[in-house]
Structure 1
């Protein structure tokens, strides 16, 4: 017997092997590839070897890893589509979809008995939204609701309808941190037969959950990005919560977007894709307002809270990191018996360490980026490659002792908070603290129970959480990200401000937001203060239309990286020449040029873009051109279809 095996390698076709006995499609095997033994996926079974190949020339499979298949024809078909759409190998697609883990003794996901679920009575607007969704004949529907408008209850009611009809439900959230609250709610309502898939589980726990789904033991699956591949039988509903979030886009090959995969599954499996957000992506907003995406708008909060009062504080007049107006509001909030969240999307203590005398700046030796000072560990860290070195007291360039540490991070803000409010209960949640086991869950529980007065954190606390006692949200620096050379920079900052402001006053009147900024007149900040989403979207769409960026075009980004800059530049130029020689009408080639972040982890980076009104001609061009290109030794090519970041 012969089997075709796909590996997690950039190979166009699977490789064929000899195997003893019956081996079905869908199991994993260990087999030799180019002097190594790798795990691969059986994607085909043959009665005879490939034409023109002698049986003795085919290597044998060393070991079959699974007693029963991990995937069926539906999953394989989805992987084949991903391979074609994202221009990657079939094995690379399957590897992104199917969890690894040990073959035996798969560890189950710990299950805590949830508190009793209290069903909320739907408001008239929520009932109308549910009716609109369940009667929708289009494969997609959008629920656009302000923060606190009860979108989750609409999702769960629609899910209930689907489960009653015997259909499966897939519920996606963008952040692992959000999974806990949503899982508790869903399990309390629908019982224990809910599978959880996210990267905080061990590999064996993920595999155990995957097998439960394959066997049909559960019909409700919840998880972050990769859960979009869950092999649910008779899928009826996919919920994509916080549709606008960039974390739905994978940063490694295959660079898939969960929204795009969900759209494909909805079309091919006859399911409904229900997306929702308080701040839709510009692409979704454009589709809604050109009649191509049915939607329902929830303009009011269901818990009775009012939109918060938002104050802009110019850091030009009130130097930070915590201005006097913000400190006054924190003190006032505590006296009222309420809680504060402070948001700053920068961890560490300081983001600039340099010499006032000669202008020297401490940068990573492997990246073209500044190092961040972490005071607790007394170390300088690169947040891109992990390089670490000691901080300086004397400038290594000129010998001056006039060394400046500036650009506050969460550590520095925490220090000022504890010095200013020594008797307040203060907690910090960022990547540094949340990586310690149990810290994330403990801090969130303490925040929910009122044991924390001020919670300081990065993006992980900016959306999705409901804290009943929360009265004040402070944005320590709203400008983070606005200076990035990325056409989506303004959209990201606007969305983040609206989302983080939406945490305040959800269950009580009088919620307040203080936004500190050096750019008080920036359109994204002004529109966020005025809760004027339509104005921001229309103005931003006008800019995108004029510059021919999405949603008025489609993009494919090609990044060349390697340690030898001359080779990288030469390969980028060579590939651009190949494309130029065969460029179809209506397809534009931009570049090549150095990436804005020119060097990361010792690798120089150049990129180029293809731009067109549709993806098909760019796909065809790359399908013809990629097999003709052989990168230089040490140079790697990354293909990113529909990129969400261009740095």
Structure 2
């Protein structure tokens, strides 16, 4: 009689976290751990990952097990990937199948692609830091300096890892940043040894990169957060770009992980080094520095030349016809264009303005599905919601009074671009925002222009701060700096401080960073201008400790969405009451509250904030079984980037 084997399989679907995540099936032979299999699950056939095989045995009551239908691919995920998936699911209160699903690419046929030539690394041998990092027994470092200096260290570290036949992961915070670095790397390393992975490339290209990483032929991997789940052959180092950047957070689907934290777990599993590459320290890095648990390497400190930081008070210029291009900014731009220099203007919002107001009744034009202000896009003469696909044409009537005349308030990317083109008609103006970075055609166009210097002024949203791998700027400016800190949260000041650091890191050593503001005496601005990092971060830590905000607590935000306003109020209050009854002194639970965007895509939202001790294992708290059984409509966000 032929003997069967019991196969433990994790279905690649989202399951309630309090429910079992591993199911038993039968197969006529053992299946290699990590193999991708096809299994029946209730009335459907789904994919799963095989974790374990053992001999079948007599079962009481003649209990029948379903059979594995077929093996799709053996060894689809590695032993270390399995460990990472388990850590990810445990840390972020996610189903194990959802964690594994991120590691499975769509299997596709690969195409032969043309490869470019390479040149030698030049002018990078002056820094001794890569050698110190590679040889040091420390596994974690924080690298603080300009974008150019940090990239130099990264390139030499890549070269040293190559010689040791180890893989190097460069974790970029944005798609455009990854694409820009990839273009630069192709000049110094063989292209067949580099893999690029981000959400804007095709599934076939992702699978090709996956195979190169798995085989070990890809020595340098440049990727956004999805690159964390590649099947690394022999990972030697992880380089995290701007570790505090909110783009590292997966916020719109489960598991809602922080890529910088997952990178730390990945490095630990592979016994690899991890380097946090920041323009300025983050609050967490500063705290760990004070605790002497993390070494900070400040590069470029020996060079006294630094970009000049200027703060321009534009309070009296707000009503000017050229606003937000102030007099000082205009003069600096004129000088830059005259001397064939490069300028970067960073604007906080896409579109023409922040919002539009009816001139007759002063009603703000809003999206009916999201309850957010519609943004005017002049090039298509329409108002759009930035949260959903709702849009209306230019001649739409005010829903309150029927008027068709609106005034545009606030500063958007398009109005800055329009003013620049009017003031400097001969200047070559380039635009860069999230729409450009997600379009392969547009992204390639902008990348080539940046690389070849075929522009005079780059106007962009925060995505433009990720262009530093290809060029440096003589002038960097925030035309409307006050918009950056318009929403108050526990980490708002840290994020703005980081943006200032990123902007400065793109300026040449003899360049200028100009900040236009109506509050020139702002503590954050003066601290940055005077380089009083210790004063700023010590004050930030003191205030966070007083309010038990991270890193002095572990936050878990649970939120509920429902189309019926009355139902969401009742359900959120019910869950709060049960959580409060189950909690102990180790956790604080807030009353249900509306987030800043209380309605999105036709659904209302309510948040409940849980505050535990730093590093707390949420699964060991008494409320965990209840969290694991929350009904459909609830979502869990561990370590949220925003509480509002």
TM-score (norm 1): 0.90
The alignment partner of 2:618 has SS state of helix
* Distance in 1, Cα, partners of 2:446 & 2:627: 51
Q: Secondary structure at the match of 1:199?
A: coil
1:80 and 2:86 are equivalent in the alignment = yes
Give the Cα separation in 2 of the matches to 1:357 and 1:298. 57
Q: Does the Cα contact within 8 Å between 1:363 and 1:371 map onto a contact in 2?
A: yes
CA distance in 2, matches of 1:521, 1:559: 38
| Greater CA drift, 194-203 or 32-41 | 32-41
Once residues 84 and 63 of structure 1 are traced to their aligned partners in structure 2, the CA distance between those partners, rounded to angstroms, is 29
Which residue does 2:152 correspond to in 1? Answer: 153
- How far 1:253 sits from its partner (Å)? 0.7
1:104 Cα deviation after fit: 4.3
Which residue of the partner structure matches residue 250 of structure 1? 250
1:638 to 628, 631, 635: 635
- Cα pair 1:28 1:42 within 8 Å, conserved: yes
How far apart are 1:272 and its partner, in Å?
1.4
Q: Is the aligned partner of 1:425 residue 2:424?
A: no
Give the stretch that moved more between structures: 355-364 or 82-91: 355-364
Summarize the alignment of residues 148-227 of structure 1 with structure 2, pairs less than 5 Å apart.
148=148, 150-191=149-190, 192-227=192-227
SS state of the match for residue 619, structure 1?
Answer: helix
Superposition pairs for residues 544-583 of structure 1, below 5 Å? 544-583=544-583
CA distance in structure 1 between the partners assigned to 2:59 and 2:568 by the alignment: 39
Alpha-carbon contact 2:239-2:276 (below 8 Å) kept: yes
Provide the residue aligned with 1:608 in structure 2. Answer: 608
Query: Does the 8 A contact of 1:427 with 1:452 survive in 2?
Result: yes
Counterpart in 2 of 1:264?
A: 265
Distance 2:461 2:552 in 1: 32
SS of the aligned residue for 1:376 comes to helix
The equivalent residue for 1:65 is 72
Aligned CA distance change for structure 1 residues 441 and 526 (closer, same or farther; 3 Å): farther
Contact 1:117 1:185 in 2 (8 A): no
Alignment deviations for residues 457-513 of structure 1 (CA, whole Å, 9 cap, x no partner): 11111145156573212212112241213111111112112211332224xx2x122
Superposed displacement of residue 53, structure 1 = 7.8
Give 1:291 shift.
Answer: 0.8
Question: Which has the larger displacement, 278-287 or 36-45?
Answer: 36-45
CA distance in 2, matches of 1:268, 1:628: 27
Counterparts of 2:342 and 2:87, CA distance in 1: 48
Aligned partner of 1:94 in structure 2 is 100
How far apart, CA to CA, are the structure 2 residues paired with 1:611 and 1:313? 39
Q: Does the CA contact (< 8 Å) of 2:315 and 2:517 recur in 1?
A: yes
Aligned residue in 1 for 2:364: 361
Contact 1:558 1:609 in 2 (8 A): yes
2:35 to 18, 27, 33: 27
Q: Which runs of 5+ in 1 are unaligned?
A: none
| CA deviation map 1:79-112 (0-9, x unaligned) | 111111111111100112x1422x341346x554
Cα RMSD after superposing both structures: 2.7
How far off its partner does 1:48 sit? 2.9
SS, match of residue 605 in structure 1:
strand
- Going from structure 1 to structure 2, the CA distance change for 1:395 and 1:158 (only over 3 Å counts) comes to closer
Aligned mates of 2:466, 2:234 — CA distance in 1: 31
Unaligned runs of 5+ in 2: none
- Are 1:492 and 2:492 counterparts? no
- Number of residues of Structure 1 aligned to a counterpart in Structure 2: 631
Q: Measure the CA separation in 1 of the matches of 2:114 and 2:462.
A: 27
Q: Provide closer, same or farther for how the CA distance between residues 629 and 317 of structure 1 changes in structure 2, counting only shifts above 3 A.
A: same
For residue 51 of structure 2, what is the aligned residue in structure 1? 43
Following superposition, the deviation at residue 618 of structure 1 comes to 3.3
Change (3 A) 1:105 1:322: same
Aligned to 2:448: 445
Aligned to 2:507, the other structure's residue is in SS state: coil
Query: For residues 170 and 517 of structure 1, what CA distance do their matches in structure 2 show?
Result: 38
Q: What SS does the aligned partner of 1:438 have?
A: helix
1:517 matched residue in structure 2: 517
CA contact under 8 A between 2:588 and 2:612: conserved in structure 1?
yes
Partner Cα separation in structure 2 for residue 268 and residue 434 of structure 1: 32
Q: 1:316 to 1:37 in 2, by over 3 A?
A: farther
Aligned residue among 408, 413, 421 for 1:410: 413
Cα 1:222–1:322 shift into 2, 3 Å: same
